[in-house]
Structure 1
Amino acid sequence: MKNLTDEELMIQVTNGDLNKLSIIFDRYHVHLYNFFNKMIQDKTISEDLTQEVFIKVLKYRTSYKNGNFTSWIFTIARNIFSTYYQKRKKERTHLINDDICSNDKEISEGNEEAIDHLQKALLQLTVSDRELIVMHRLQEINYEQIAEITGNSIGALKVKMHRALKKLKSIYFQNIEN
């Protein structure tokens, strides 16, 4: 069962074999959690939003039409994030969480400061720019899938990614010099 593709598993879930959803959960919950955590910097909310994705996957399983599963599930995640962000937009007293690196890699003290600085620079980007960088560079989602998720052409997406990285670089180095 574990060697079935995500698409094959989701088709079985769509056809009523809900036990296969646990395999999908095992494959995707860490990626989704990391996506949310990089976007909002709150572990508890990231866990809640990740759970909400799987609730929606279960609820809307019949809407899956045999396309790219990664694109489909990240579209759901992106919509959930957008809803969350719009609800919280007015009450934006959001402090940066010191526990930025929850990816189980050991980080030296020198690198910890650089990562903290990079995370602060990332948070200064617009939500759409940050979302692109998080999906592509941190979640390693390819351009084709991100284009499908965001509704952009691959060419337009690459231009947006280039501009977002250029902004991030500018913010990062501007803050280092100050």
Structure 2
Amino acid sequence: MPVNIHDHPPDLPATASASFEGVVLPHLDAAYNLARWLARDDADAQDVVQEALLRAFRYYASFHGSDARTWLLAIVRNTFYSLRMKTLPDSAREAFDDDVHVPADDQPTPEARALLALDVDSLQRALEKLPHALRETIVLRELQECSYKEIASITGQKIGTVMSRLARARERLRLELTSHSTEARRHDVP
């Protein structure tokens, strides 16, 4: 069912609805982009964004004008995970332990920059293979251009955890893209 924000709840004045449109809706593309990368499916992403917008609209009165984009992306992320936890069996949930992994240097190497210049399809396939925790972090940083502080706020993680996840995500992307590139070269005709 489509969301019509003009049908505001009785306890929310029409001016709040107009304010919501002006403050939150400009970030709708960013919300969908994050939801699409998390859900890996257009229809599921649309469902996540729709539910997130309903939640954002419902709690808009508690928004105090800081950063609407970060606020909305946090709601999208939380909505995705809450919907996901309702539908996944316990055996399908990912376990992730930040203490096991050692953070690497955060600066991309020239090799990593060259690998990121590969075609978009290879990069998308590599991103799809990342665990949710790593994929959401790299999508927020590289595609949504969020700062470490914004990512920490959106995900509810410490900045050190964000940096660690980014380093691991970049390393896994590098490995995936270099193995894909090596495999492609093996099949080239001399």
**TM-score (normalizing by structure 2):** 0.66
- Decide whether the 8 Å contact of 1:40 with 1:46 is kept in 2: yes
- What is aligned with 1:82? 81
Distance 1:132 1:26 in 2: 23
For residues 64-79 of structure 1, what are the structure 2 equivalents within 5 Å?
64-79=63-78
Give the letter for the 1:136 counterpart: R
How many residue pairs get aligned? The number is 146
CA distance in 2, matches of 1:24, 1:51: 17
Q: 1:146 and 2:154 equivalent?
A: no
| 1:23 equivalenced with 2:28 (yes/no) | no
Letter in structure 2 aligned against 1:128 = A
Question: CA offset at residue 25 of structure 1?
Answer: 4.3
Residue pairs, 1:15-54, within 5 angstroms? 17-54=16-53
Q: After the TM superposition, which of the residue ranges 150-159 and 29-38 deviates more from structure 2?
A: 150-159
TM-score w.r.t. structure 1 length?
0.70
Specify the alignment match of 1:117 in structure 2.
122
Give the gaps of 5 or more residues in structure 1. 1-12, 93-112
1:159 has 2:158 as partner: no
Q: Which runs of 5+ in 2 are unaligned?
A: 1-11, 93-117, 184-190
User: Deviation per CA, 1:74-98, whole angstroms, max 9, x where unpaired?
Assistant: 11111111123223434x8xxxxxx
Task: Report the residue type matching 2:42 in the other structure.
Answer: K
SS at match of 2:177: helix
Match of residue 5 from structure 1: none
Residue in structure 1 matched with residue 139 of structure 2 by the alignment: 134
Displacement, 1:70? 2.5
Shift of 1:115: 1.6
Q: Is 2:58 aligned against 1:59?
A: yes
For 2:25 and 2:74, locate their aligned partners in 1 and report how far apart those are by CA, in whole Å: 18
Structure number, greater radius of gyration: 2
Equivalent position amino acid for 1:137 in 2: E
Percent identical residues = 26
Mapped partners of 2:16, 2:178: distance in 1: 51
In the alignment, residue 23 of structure 1 is paired with which amino acid? G
Partners of 1:166 and 1:135 in 2: CA distance? 16
